[in-house]
Amino acid sequence: MLEKILPEKVDNTFPGYKFAAYAFLGFIIFTVARSLAHMFLPDGGAESIATIDLSLGGAEVIIGMFAKWGLSQLLMAGLYIIVYIRYKSLIPLMYIIIIAEYVGRICMGLLKPFETVGTPPGAIGNLIIIPLATILFIFSIRTERFRLQENLD
């Protein structure tokens, strides 16, 4: 299995289920949209999306941090795009990174919680994306040969 996550030869072949590769494209689009929102919304999405009360002092710092976070998300999306276009054999590794990112978000939220006015979409999205990315990871490392072998057993 490690060979499927960190292949010896990195190329544009994807031996997993095709829909796992297409779903990865969905993650790319979502990541680009999310990053651009954080970078270009007047409040960085802090209040309009994450429901953080910006009437408190230091709001400009929060907005700036959200914009910088958007830039880091855009850089990750750039890496995802490169993998999708040129190095599809690394899609399983990218799913691991996506899972780690969203698990990390939950852990950071538990370690450093902050008050919001409502429930931000990310709080629910994190709980959806982790199992979804896990299922897609599994389908990204399963091959046609594996499916045929299962049918013979």
Buried b / exposed e over 130-151, threshold 16 CB at 10 Å, is bebbeebbebbbbeeeeeeeee
| Boundaries of domain holding 62 | 17-152
Give pLDDT, residue 114.
85
Residue 26 lies in a domain: yes
- 125 found inside a domain: yes
- Asked if residue 65 has pLDDT above 80, the reply is yes
Kindly report the average pLDDT of the chain as a whole number: 91
Other Cβ atoms less than 10 A from the Cβ of 22: the count is: 11
pLDDT in tens, 103-153: 999 999 999 988 888 888 888 988 999 999 999 999 999 986 654 445 444
Q: List C-alpha distances in Å: 76 to 28, 29, 59.
A: 9, 12, 26
pTM for the predicted model, two decimal places: 0.88
Structural domains counted in the chain: 1
Please, are residues 15 and 144 in contact by the beta-carbon 8 Å criterion? Answer: yes
Q: What is the mean pLDDT of residues 8-17?
A: 93
- pLDDT of residue 85 exceeding 90, the answer is yes
